[in-house]
Structures are given as structure tokens and as C-alpha cells.
Structure 1
Amino acid sequence: MTLELGRLFLLGFRGERLKPDHWLCQALQQHLGGVVLFDRNVDASVQNISSPEQLKGLTRDLQDAAGGGLIIGIDQEGGRVCRLKPAAGFPPQPGAKEVATAGLAASRAAAERCAALLADCGITCNFAPVVDIDSSPPCPVIGGLGRSFGTDAETVAAHAALWVRALHAQGLACCLKHFPGHGRARGDTHLGFVDAGSGWREDELAPYERLIAAGFQDAVMSAHLVLRQLDPAGRPATLSRPILQGLLRERLGFRGVICTDDLQMGAIANEYGYRQAVQQALLAGADLLLVGNNLKDQPEALTAGVAAIEELLQEGRITEARLAASIARVERLARGPLADRARNSAA
């Protein structure tokens, strides 16, 4: 069996254009699964996005270089987490708390506008909606930034369903986040280790349960939180087999792509080496490994990551069949929801 292991990676990169000598060109030839785009990187300089026309040209060039079928992802939640900003010529987009306060009709309208914009710009997957439940006091990086639709699972699930439908209608895939729930955490996993302690509650699974039961099978992003009530070994959810395989796959019945949050975030990078993080995430049940190259530039992420996976294979710690299943899920995500719908209708 010949495995295209590059499919298991989703990488960020620096540059507003795809130049022939950029390392990403070689990565695309190595069957890279996808890219994630940012407006600015950690030092506040432009990373990938400076105007609507520039973005359309970039996404077109990326697909051409990949031969099509490339996941082009973005975090376009609205509000404080927007990669397409008015300063670069894009229309403003309200955040989750703002649209939820205005009601379901306003939320639907905002979702439809966002989906149409992303499709027009060549984006294929939105790392949204956020289905974390807000709390009091709020998590500083969720409720504190207005990123949650509400304080109860029913409200969050209702708004998230509208966003999923709007994105699907434009042919875009979605990635729910941050599993199994970040809304009651008291720290920022961008910065370092965060133990959620006893704050996590069972109701944080409810939005996932409802959306999966309704047929959602695109992608779910793992949190880097430690939740000892779910994994007594104290592994972050991204590296936890009891959480990803036991809870998300087996209990909730999720069959889509499990995508890690950025492996360069402090909660992972400060505690684990890159090789170890890649290996443990896959062994835990992840399918798609995200390396943002936003916090730092790591051009060797693909080659080093593939080498780490090959080591797992050589040592017999993972099977080719398991990796092939992950690759198939990633390829299905790349085809998008409309392709699956058409195939199901034909059957």
C-alpha cells in the first residue's frame, strides 16, 4: 500500500503569493492535505491576506499548484476572530455573541453572508462555528472575546446549525471547535499548559451530540485542554485517545475528520516535541494535524511530520489501514459537502 502521508497535514505558510521557490510548492507536490490562511502573523506583519482580489488569486494559485482537491481553511468566526477584516477591504462580520443576542434570523443572515464571501474567495473550509458554551466568569479566550453563541447547549446548537447549513449551501465544509468544550476553561492554550480542573461539565458535549445526530460529519477540532475527569492520565484532549477515540468517535458516533488545534500553540509546543506531538495525536485518533506557521515559521513541518509517522509504521505502533482511513476522511472533507450530497442522491 502506498500512503500519501502528506494528506494528514494542514499547514500555514507566510506569503501573499505562491512563488515558485516557496517551500510550500514542494509540500503541495508531496500531497499536502491542506493549508490554513491568516491575515497577520504573530509579529503583526501581513501573512497571507491583504485584499479580496489578492486572496482570490492566492487560493486559485494554491489549487492549481496542488492539482485541485486542496483544503483551504480559515478561521472566520466573526467579531474578534476574523481573518477577512474591513481594513483589508472585506465587509464587517459580527461575532457569535452579537448575532446570538440579535436572534436566530440575524444569525442566519450573518452566516449566509459569511458563507457567500468565503466561497467567492476560494475558501473551502471554515474553522467555525465555535460550539463552546459560555460561562460566568467567561473563559478569557472564548466568552471573554464574544466567541460563544450562549450559556446553554440548546442556544449554542441552534445557532451552530444555522451556520453549518449556510456554509454547506455554498459548498464549504465546517469544523466545530473546541472539543470536548473550552467555554469553562480559565486559561489560554495559545500560551501554555491549561488544566481545566473540575470546571468542565457533561453539557459541553450536547452541541456536538445534537449536530452529529442531525448528520454533521465534516470536521471537529480538538482542544489542547487537560481534562482529568475524561482522561485521568492528564493528557491534553488533542493527544488523548480516551477523549478523541473513546468519546468523540465511539460514544458520539462521529465519522468525519478529527483535526487538531495548532500544534505550535504553547500547550503542546512547550510540553512536547514536534515529533512526539505528531505521533501522540495520531495514536489518540486525530486525522488531520494543523501546524499554523503563524506563531513561528516551521517550513520543515511536513517532512519532519511524515518522518515521525513513518517511524510509527516501522515500529508497528500504527497500521497502514488506520492511516489509510484517516487519509480517506481528509479527502472526503476536501471534496466538500455538496460532493457527498450528490453522491448520496445518485446512490
Structure 2
Amino acid sequence: MRIFILLILFVMSSFAQGYSKPDIERMIAKMVILGFNGENVSKNSQIYKDIEAGLGGVILFDKDPNDKNKVKNIRNKEQLKKLNQDLQAISKQKLLISIDQEGGVVQRLKTDMGFVNTLKASEIAQKAEEFAKNSYQAMAKDLKDVGINVDFAPVVDLALNKNNKVIVTRGRSFGESSSEVTKYASIFVDELKKQNVISVLKHFPGHGSSLADSHLGFVDITKTWTKKELEPYKYFINNNKVDMIMTAHVFNENLDKNYPATLSYNVNTKLLREQLKYDGVLITDDLQMSAISKHYDLKTTLRLSINSGVNLLLFANQLAKPVTLKEIVDTVYSEILSENISLEKIIESNKKIDKLLNNI
């Protein structure tokens, strides 16, 4: 009976604000970036239907992680450009077409597909600034040419722990000092912006001091994290050079005694929004990574992340069993009905996303 009354009150309230159930479902869908399988798209493709339903964006990969011999989305330049054109044509709004293209070990666009090779961040930082500019200029042009408008880069983590296997030993950080990191990350961001490609600073509030990999499981940075890891974010926010920020699946009991950063109101709202004065789009790292998926079910993950201050929900669908847009939308809608997520959070996120879309 209580649920029925809540439903009636919610519907009345929503209509009072001018939103129908389909309106709200589309707003939730706009907050999702989804991975999918396929080198092309047709009206029978699930991703086609998802985009028609209002999906906010997609993330592209070269190889299928469940079978490295199979292509997931990217075979070559021509095929990728056609795929992205077709994806954009489905959407009534600007579709966020995203990729991980940092350089070094994290490059979905490879030379054998016709793309430029970019050195890893640690090597770029050993070169002159002109070399960095030319490198990121070429990369940004590649992205623009094939219709990619979001690059999950640059990494602004500080290389504080020399044994850090996810960032430091893989050469994904520009260096140990924030001045070095901001210098080269700024060049990266500037070159992307010239091509109308959205840059994404990652991984907030800092992954460079960690001892473990959040792809594999729980990562506790309580004893290793320092406030200096916030300095790159302060620089970019204070200089109005941020398009988007990505959260890290790291736990720090000094910042939040209960939740990792991606799900933490203390980290994403109190620290990032209120203390550092960030007002832009905040996206999760992949919510299917083990640091999250092994500890929280989908409903809890969605409720906590949205309530924490996140605006975009990333599901890379690199696992054998993908998460569907319908599951996500239905779960969030149910949580709104149950008053566990406020409709205002959804409206606010959509406003931030719309503002971001106006820049590309």
C-alpha cells in the first residue's frame, strides 16, 4: 500500500514539474555510457535501440576481452569512422562516443589499424614540450577524424608509489610532482580541445600512491594517499580547464569510513564539489570493475554513485554478461519511486551533461 501511495505522489509531483515517466527514463538513459559488441550497427542491434531510448554515450574497444582474437568495435580507421557516423545518426542528441586513448599501453587505436602511435606519459615527460604538443596534436586529430568526441585521458595521478602496478610501472603518469603532471596534462587537454574532443582527468582523488589495482579488487589508499594528489585537480579547476573528471574506485577511511571514492558523497560532493569548487560533469570509472562489482549489487551501486554527486555512469561491458540499459534505467527509476534517489539529482545531472554537449 505504501509503495502504491508513493507511486501516486511521485507521479503527481513529476507531472507538476512537467516530467512524464518516459521523460524521466530518457533522462536516466542520458546518464549512461555503455560498452557493446559490434563493428557495425543496424536497426536490429541492441545498441541501436538503446540510443533510440536516449542512451548518453558509448565506449569503444578494439579487442573482445573474452576472446582476444575477436574484434569488439575497432578493426580499422574506415570501419570505425563509419560505425561512429552511424551511431551519431541514430541519436536525437549529441552522442558521447568515448575511448581510452592515453598513449603507451593504453591505446585502443593501434598503428596496424592506421592510427598514430603515442608514447606513454612517463616517456612524453622526458621529452620537450614541443614533442608532447606534436604527439597529442596527432592523436587528437585521429580521434576527431573518426568521430570520437570523448577521450578518457589524461591521467593526472602522481607517480608516488614506484611499485604501483596499475599506473606507475605502466608509465601512465607524467611524474611524481604536480608541476610536471599539470604541465604535460595541460598540453594533452589543450590539443584535445582544439579538435572538440572532451578530455577526462583521472582518477580522482588520486590512484598513484595505491598498492593494488581496482580492476582486480578492493584498493585501500588510507595509509598511502596524501593531499598533494589533489594538486593537479586544483590547478585545472582553478584555471577553468576541466571538461570532465573520472572517479577512482579507491577507499580512504580518512575521507570516507564506509565507501570507495566512486560511491562517496564525502569525496565527490564535499571534497570535489564543495571544497575544490568543481561544477562540471563527474563520471564513474567502469562500475563493473571488481573493486565495485564484488562488493555492491547493481541497485546499491547506482543509488550510492548518483547520490554521491556522479553525473555519468560508465558500464564498459567487458565481462561475459553485459549490463543492459533497461536494467540500469529500471533500477534507477525504481529507486526514485522509493525516494532513495531524488529526481532533482537526475535533472541536475542532465543539465550538466547538456552544458558539456554544447562544447562539442
Smaller-chain TM-score bracket: over 0.9
Structure 1 residue 318: Cα displacement: 2.6
Give secondary structure in 2 for the equivalent of 1:11.
Answer: strand
Shift of 1:297: 4.0
Give the TM-score of the pair, scaled to structure 1.
Answer: 0.94
Q: Does 1:292 align with 2:286?
A: no
SS at match of 2:202: strand
The corresponding residue for 1:87 is 112
Which residue pairs with 2:275 in the alignment? 251
- Give the equivalent residue in structure 1 for 2:194: 169
- Check the 8 A contact 2:59/2:98 in 1, yes or no: yes
Task: Give the structure 2 partner of residue 331 of structure 1.
Answer: 354
Task: Report whether the alignment pairs 1:139 with 2:164.
Answer: yes
Q: Which residue of 2 aligns with 1:38?
A: 61
Letter in 2 for 1:279: R
Q: What's the counterpart of residue 308 of structure 1?
A: 331
Q: Is the Cα–Cα contact under 8 Å of residues 303 and 340 in structure 2 kept in the other structure? A: no
Letter of the structure 1 residue corresponding to residue 346 of structure 2? L
Question: C-alpha displacement at 1:320, in angstroms?
Answer: 1.9
Residue 196 (structure 1) shift: 1.4
TM-aligned CA deviation for residue 301 of structure 1: 2.4
1:119 touches 1:172 (CA, 8 Å); kept in 2? yes
Query: Which residue does the alignment assign to 2:295?
Result: 271
Q: CA deviation at 1:197?
A: 2.8
Q: Is residue 242 of structure 2 the alignment partner of residue 200 of structure 1?
A: no
TM-score, normalising length from structure 2? 0.90
Corresponding residue to 1:27 among 50, 53, 58 = 50
Tell me: CA distance 1:5–1:136, structure 2 relative to 1, closer, same or farther (3 Å).
closer
8 A contact 1:198–1:229 mirrored in 2: no
- Output the CA distance in 1 between the equivalents of 2:58 and 2:354: 14
Quote the Cα distance in structure 2 between the aligned partners of 1:114 and 1:236.
Answer: 32
The partner residue of 2:254 within 202, 220, 229 is 229
Q: CA deviation digits over 1:143-170, x for unaligned, max 9?
A: 1110000111111011111111111111
Structure 1 counterpart of 2:247, which letter?
Answer: S
Residue identity opposite 2:105 in structure 1: R
- Check the 8 A contact 1:313/1:320 in 2, yes or no: yes
Alignment of 1:260 with 2:284, yes or no, is yes
Specify the SS of the correspondent of 1:144.
Answer: coil
Task: State the SS of the aligned residue for 2:64.
Answer: coil
Once the 2 structures are TM-superposed, how far is the Cα of residue 332 of structure 1 from its aligned partner? Answer: 2.4
Matches of 1:296 and 1:255 in 2, distance apart? 36
User: Secondary structure at the residue paired with 1:102?
Assistant: coil
Answer with 73-82 or 14-23: which moved more: 14-23
2-structure distance, mates of 1:265, 1:251 = 28
Query: Is residue 99 from structure 1 mapped to residue 124 from structure 2 by the alignment?
Result: yes
> What is residue 31 of structure 2 aligned with on the other side?
8
Letter in 1 for 2:57: G
Q: Tell me how far apart the structure 2 counterparts of residues 183 and 281 of structure 1 sit (CA, whole Å).
A: 22
Aligned pairs for 1:104-119 (under 5 A) are 104-119=129-144
Highest Rg: 1 or 2?
2
Q: Quick one: distance in 1 between partners of 2:122 and 2:346?
A: 38
SS in 2 for 1:101: coil
How far apart, in 2, do the equivalents of 1:335 and 1:48 lie?
27
Q: Which has the higher contact order (CA 8 A, sep 6+)?
A: 1
Q: Which amino acid aligns with 1:9?
A: V
Deviation at 1:179, TM superposition (A): 0.3
CA distance in 2, matches of 1:296, 1:68: 30
**Identity, % of aligned positions:** 36
Residues 59 and 68 (structure 1), Cα distance of their counterparts in 2 relative to 1, 3 Å cut: farther
Kept after mapping to 2: 8 A contact 1:124/1:334: no
SS of 1:145's equivalent in the other structure is coil
Native 8 Å contact 1:74 1:123 kept in 2: yes
Structure 1, residues 53-100: CA drift from partner, whole Å, max 9, x if none?
A: 011001000000113500001110000000101122222111111111
How many angstroms apart in 2 are the aligned matches of 1:308 and 1:210?
Answer: 37
Q: Residues of 1 paired with 2:211 and 2:78: CA distance?
A: 39
TM-align CA RMSD: 1.3
CA deviation digits over 1:298-333, x for unaligned, max 9? 1x5211111121122112233222211101112222
- Name the counterpart of 2:6: none
Give the letter aligned to residue 277 of structure 2. Answer: G
Ranges of 4+ aligned residues in structure 1 off by more than 4 Å: none
